[in-house]
């Protein structure tokens, strides 16, 4: 049996998982990221988590093939340097070098969305595909692309920024500086913004009462109130689904993957989200008359996708 370590480095938590060759997570260890602080300190905690997972799994470091790291930002997998991560304030951080020195094992680094996509590719919703795209609907819209079993990151290691393709050139300002990005409309953040805007215009909406009861507006507010028959909520959900379907259609038209999986908390809506998205995409996709079109599915691995994908980066790069 072969073993690997996958590290999911996030803005809140560092999670290291010991994973076997069958893609099973045997042990997980986590620590708080505690940002902002020096990159060297974060790397030291990442290495400690990896070594703890190995020890608690009953192994020695020598029994682990390698350590893979999924990180926010631009990760140069060729040099092992995290060139930039705004959330962590990383600038040209030699993460692979540091982790290898601290653990005695070879290491690899990749963008976290790419690592999660690879996890779904080898062990989740895209298992068995030749080419796959994964889109995560979270604070932003993350993307990961796997072509013929390899992660595609572009020649500058900043590829797959699917969320920053444009749906409306005159739309709301995106954090990237453009207007009307896919992310502005289809992220959980975008859904919350559109829900709040609809509530401001329609104070009679059931969404206002629900938000007051819960103490906040969430990505579930519009969906929950739609199910209660609220028209304003239905309008929000309908627009959200149209925008999501448009972004997915754009992505399919470019890559034509076997499978496109969507993940993130919004996907907990299940068929209420997936079925209308599939219907709209089927009508709009360029290959709508083809006998073999992209299969659109919900991601299966949740937060484990990043750990599993990172653990197998030695095969993905």
Domain positions in the chain are 3-120+304-316, 128-298
CATH class, 128-298 region: alpha beta
Q: What is the CATH number of domain 3-120+304-316?
A: 3.30.420.40
Single out the residue of 265, 264, 272, 263 nearest to residue 297, CA to CA: 263
What Rg, from alpha-carbon coordinates, does the chain have? 20
Residue whose entry in the numeric block shows the structure tokens 């890559």: 255
- Tell me, yes or no, if the two domains 3-120+304-316 and 128-298 fold the same way: yes
Residues 6+ apart with CB under 8 A from 267: 137, 273, 274, 298, 299
Dist CA 282 CA 148 (whole Å): 24
**Residue listed under structure tokens 């060297």:** 40
CB neighbours of residue 180 within 10 Å = 18
Spatial CA neighbour of 144 closest among 133, 129, 155, 154? 133
- The single residue listed with the structure tokens 């399919």 is 252
φ and ψ of 262, to 5 deg: -115, 135
Spell out the per-residue pLDDT of the chain, length 317, in tens. Answer: 999 999 999 988 999 999 999 999 999 999 999 999 999 999 999 999 999 999 999 999 999 999 999 999 999 999 999 999 988 999 999 999 999 999 999 999 999 999 999 999 999 999 999 999 999 998 889 999 999 999 999 999 999 999 999 999 999 999 889 999 999 999 999 999 999 999 999 999 999 999 999 999 999 999 999 999 999 999 999 999 999 999 999 999 999 999 999 999 899 999 999 999 999 999 999 988 777 899 999 999 998 999 999 999 999 88
Strand-pair category, 64-71 with 107-111: parallel
Q: Report the C-alpha gap between 120 and 159 in whole angstroms.
A: 18
């Amino acid at each position: 049996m072969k073993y690997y370590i996958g590290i999911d480095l996030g803005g809140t938590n560092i999670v290291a998982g010991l994973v076997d060759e069958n893609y099973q997570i045997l042990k997980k260890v986590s620590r708080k990221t505690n940002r902002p602080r020096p990159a060297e300190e974060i790397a030291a905690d990442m290495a400690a988590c990896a070594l703890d997972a190995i020890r608690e799994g009953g192994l020695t470091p020598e029994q682990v093939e390698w350590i893979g790291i999924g990180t926010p930002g631009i990760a140069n997998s060729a040099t092992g340097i995290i060139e930039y991560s705004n959330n962590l304030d990383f600038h040209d951080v030699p993460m692979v070098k540091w982790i290898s020195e601290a653990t005695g094992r070879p290491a690899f680094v990749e963008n976290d969305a790419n690592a999660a996509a690879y996890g779904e590719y080898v062990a989740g919703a895209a298992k068995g595909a030749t080419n796959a795209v994964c889109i995560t609907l979270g604070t932003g819209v993350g993307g990961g692309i796997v072509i013929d079993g390899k992660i595609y990151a572009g020649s500058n290691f900043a590829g797959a920024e699917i969320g920053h393709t444009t749906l409306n050139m005159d739309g709301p300002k995106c954090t990237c500086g453009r207007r009307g990005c896919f992310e502005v409309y289809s992220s959980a953040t975008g859904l919350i913004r559109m829900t709040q805007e609809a509530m401001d215009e329609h104070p009679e909406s059931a969404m206002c009462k629900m938000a007051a009861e819960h103490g906040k507006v969430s990505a579930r507010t519009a969906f929950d109130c739609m199910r209660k028959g609220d028209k304003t909520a239905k309008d929000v959900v309908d627009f959200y689904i149209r925008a999501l379907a448009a972004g997915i259609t754009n992505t399919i038209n470019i890559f034509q993957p076997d499978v496109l999986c969507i993940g993130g908390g919004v996907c907990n809506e299940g068929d209420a989200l997936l079925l209308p998205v599939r219907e709209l995409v089927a009508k709009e996709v360029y290959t709508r008359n083809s006998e073999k079109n992209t299969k659109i599915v919900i991601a299966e691995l949740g937060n484990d996708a990043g750990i599993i994908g990172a653990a197998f980066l030695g095969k993905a790069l």
